[in-house]
């Protein structure tokens, strides 16, 4: 006979199986593995599909109903009692010779969350565990193709666009075993989702350098692309006196330094010139033309706008002084996405109660969560990247940190299930 007191006693708080989490991540690492520890699972390729199949089995084991949608997203679902949904996941594809945790961690941890909650009394919210397709932008494609399909942002033109190998996105998705004819049906009923939470390695140095285990992400950075063309005059490097030169490369060097100096003024979080083409690029000719590719990143769209104006203002005197023409062209803008105050408040509380060190920080890298975060209240949790390294075979995180992050994700999902509208006024601070 059951003791009535026992029957009504609260269940112990659910725990993730940390050993299994690390073992599964290690097993997944073997798919697309290189001898140097790196992993290559280019989106829609055979290794990516093999990784997806492995994780699909774990989803089924956790009691989820598993589906590959028409955009090649792998989704495991368990319904709740209210028709409302929570989502968590990340991506299984990697860059070429990337690391074992970027993306994979957030997917496998979300499967652990589902497993930890299996067999408990009915949750109010359904849980959707997602491995978003092609986050990284394989073979020159636009990234985040899976998450963008979920919000209806991938159109016919993009599906028909060939990648660097001449294969269209449509054919890639089909080759990955998805029913691409049903691509548009992949779009979610976004209004049914109360929150999406993505767990990810930081891919930067902040948590590692400060010995902090958990990061509550405040916003996902925006990115503004910029191309600068510097037009001087190519001429003989021996016969042209210094005062009569219009050296495009020397002027470009000043442009690089001016852009690099912007963050120190507080105008923008980071600014980078990452690519330079010099013409004619010959030792004995004064450079006549330089093309620079740059980007500005910040968590605030208004600051990006202001920084663009500042760049124009900084460059004008360089052109004047150097006697060159400077042409700026502002390219693609990826808008920043703020985390939802209410969902962030839940993540903060979970971090504060975790017994681990934690802090708040913005995400400097892009994530699928930023696509969904424009439509669904969104938050992210970070764990440290050893040495701040990512997208390299050296990408790593201590197992204990991996387990702590997965537990924080589980605690956040449990807390979010309790409420329809979490309270954004909770005042937990790191």
Q: How far is the CB of 53 from Zn ion (least distance, A)?
A: 20
Choices 79-87, 98-106, 220-228, 297-305; region in contact with Zn ion by CB under 5 A: 98-106
Cα gap 20→114, rounded to integer Å: 13
Q: How far is the CB of 39 from Zn ion (least distance, A)?
A: 12
Q: Which helix (H) or strand (E) holds 411?
A: helix 399-417
Choices 55-63, 96-104, 321-329, 412-420; region in contact with Zn ion by CB under 5 A: 96-104
DSSP 191: G
Q: How far is the CB of 135 from Zn ion (least distance, A)?
A: 6
Cα gap 259→311, rounded to integer Å: 7
Determine if 103 is a binding residue for Zn ion (CB under 5 A): yes
Q: How would you classify residue 51: left for phi > 0, otherwise alpha for psi between -120 and 50, otherwise beta?
A: alpha
**DSSP codes, 306-318:** HHHHHHHHHHHHH
Task: Select 25 or 255, whichever has its Cβ closest to Zn ion.
Answer: 25
Q: How far is the CB of 201 from Zn ion (least distance, A)?
A: 8
Q: How far is the CB of 246 from Zn ion (least distance, A)?
A: 44
Determine if 146 is a binding residue for Zn ion (CB under 5 A): no
Among 201, 147, 135, 225, which residue's Cα sits nearest to residue 361?
201
| Close Cβ partners of 178 (under 8 Å, ≥ 6 residues apart) | 68, 69, 70, 71, 72, 133
Task: Select 219 or 415, whichever has its Cβ closest to Zn ion.
Answer: 219
Choices 37-45, 101-109, 354-362, 370-378; region in contact with Zn ion by CB under 5 A: 101-109
Task: Select 115 or 144, whichever has its Cβ closest to Zn ion.
Answer: 144
Determine if 204 is a binding residue for Zn ion (CB under 5 A): no
Q: Is 143 helix (H, G, I), strand (E, B) or coil?
A: coil
Could you identify the residue written with the tokens 């450079």?
A: 287
Compute CA distances 141 → 184, 196, 200, 241, whole Å.
Answer: 18, 25, 22, 47
Name the residue whose CB lies closest to Zn ion.
103
Task: Select 103 or 146, whichever has its Cβ closest to Zn ion.
Answer: 103
Determine if 395 is a binding residue for Zn ion (CB under 5 A): no
Q: How far is the CB of 103 from Zn ion (least distance, A)?
A: 4
Q: Is the peptide bond before 208 cis (omega within 30 degrees of 0)?
A: no
Choices 100-108, 144-152, 163-171, 258-266; region in contact with Zn ion by CB under 5 A: 100-108
Among 416, 405, 415, which residue's Cα sits nearest to residue 16?
405
Choices 103-111, 295-303, 332-340, 351-359; region in contact with Zn ion by CB under 5 A: 103-111
Task: Select 103 or 422, whichever has its Cβ closest to Zn ion.
Answer: 103
Task: Select 69 or 102, whichever has its Cβ closest to Zn ion.
Answer: 102
Q: How far is the CB of 25 from Zn ion (least distance, A)?
A: 14
Q: How far is the CB of 389 from Zn ion (least distance, A)?
A: 13
Q: How far is the CB of 147 from Zn ion (least distance, A)?
A: 11
Determine if 102 is a binding residue for Zn ion (CB under 5 A): yes
> How many residues in the shown chain lie near Zn ion by CB under 5 A?
2
- Helix residue ranges per DSSP H, 80-197: 104-117, 145-150, 156-159, 169-175
Task: Select 42 or 102, whichever has its Cβ closest to Zn ion.
Answer: 102
Encoded tokens for 370: 């930023």
Choices 35-43, 55-63, 99-107, 113-121; region in contact with Zn ion by CB under 5 A: 99-107
Cα gap 87→80, rounded to integer Å: 12
Choices 3-11, 81-89, 94-102, 305-313; region in contact with Zn ion by CB under 5 A: 94-102
Bridge partner list, 244: none
- Helix residue ranges per DSSP H, 118-242: 145-150, 156-159, 169-175, 206-210
Q: How far is the CB of 131 from Zn ion (least distance, A)?
A: 11
Determine if 143 is a binding residue for Zn ion (CB under 5 A): no
Task: Select 70 or 103, whichever has its Cβ closest to Zn ion.
Answer: 103
Touching Zn ion, residues 43-82 (CB under 5 A): none
Radius of gyration of the chain (CA): 24
Task: Select 212 or 363, whichever has its Cβ closest to Zn ion.
Answer: 363
Q: How far is the CB of 136 from Zn ion (least distance, A)?
A: 7
Residue 241 half-sphere exposure toward CB, CA atoms < 13 A: 2
Bridge partner list, 233: 246
Q: Footprint of Zn ion on this chain (CB under 5 A)?
A: 102-103
């Amino acid at each position: 006979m059951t003791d009535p007191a026992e029957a009504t006693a609260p269940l112990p708080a659910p725990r993730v199986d940390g050993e299994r989490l690390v073992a599964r991540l290690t097993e997944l690492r073997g798919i697309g593995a290189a001898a140097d520890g790196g992993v290559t699972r280019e989106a829609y390729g055979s290794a990516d599909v093999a990784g997806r199949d492995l994780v699909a089995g774990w989803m089924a084991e956790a009691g989820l109903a598993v589906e590959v949608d028409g955009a090649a997203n792998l989704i495991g679902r368990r319904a709740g009692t209210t028709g409302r949904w929570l989502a968590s996941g990340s991506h299984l594809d990697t860059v070429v010779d990337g690391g074992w945790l970027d993306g994979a961690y957030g997917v496998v941890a979300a499967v652990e969350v589902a497993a930890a909650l299996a067999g408990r009394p009915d949750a109010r919210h359904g849980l959707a565990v997602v491995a978003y397709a092609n986050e990284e932008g394989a073979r020159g494609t636009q990234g985040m193709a899976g998450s963008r399909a979920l919000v209806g942002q991938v159109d016919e033109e993009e599906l028909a666009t060939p990648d660097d190998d001449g294969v269209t996105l449509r054919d890639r998705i089909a080759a990955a075993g998805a029913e691409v004819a049903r691509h548009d049906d992949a779009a979610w009923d976004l209004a049914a989702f109360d929150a999406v939470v993505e767990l990810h390695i930081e891919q930067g140095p902040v948590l590692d350098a400060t010995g902090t285990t958990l990061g509550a992400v405040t916003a996902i950075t925006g990115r503004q692309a910029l191309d600068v063309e510097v037009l001087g005059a190519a001429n003989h490097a021996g016969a042209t006196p210094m005062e009569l030169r219009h050296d495009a490369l020397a002027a470009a060097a000043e442009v690089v330094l001016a852009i690099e100096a912007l963050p120190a003024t507080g105008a923008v979080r980071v600014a980078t010139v990452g690519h330079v083409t010099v013409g004619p690029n010959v030792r004995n000719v004064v450079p006549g033309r330089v093309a620079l590719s740059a980007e500005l990143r910040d968590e605030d769209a208004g600051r990006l706008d202001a920084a663009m104006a500042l760049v124009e203002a900084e460059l004008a005197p360089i052109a004047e002084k150097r006697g060159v023409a400077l042409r700026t062209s502002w390219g693609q803008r990826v808008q920043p996405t703020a985390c939802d105050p209410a969902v962030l408040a839940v993540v903060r509380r979970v971090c504060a109660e975790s017994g681990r060190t934690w802090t708040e920080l913005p995400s400097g890298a892009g994530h699928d969560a930023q696509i969904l975060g424009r439509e669904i209240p969104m938050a992210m949790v970070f764990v440290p990247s050893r040495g701040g390294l990512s997208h390299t075979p050296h990408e790593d995180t201590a197992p204990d940190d991996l387990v702590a992050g997965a537990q924080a994700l589980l605690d956040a999902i449990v807390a979010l299930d309790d409420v329809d509208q979490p309270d954004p006024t909770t005042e937990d601070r790191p």
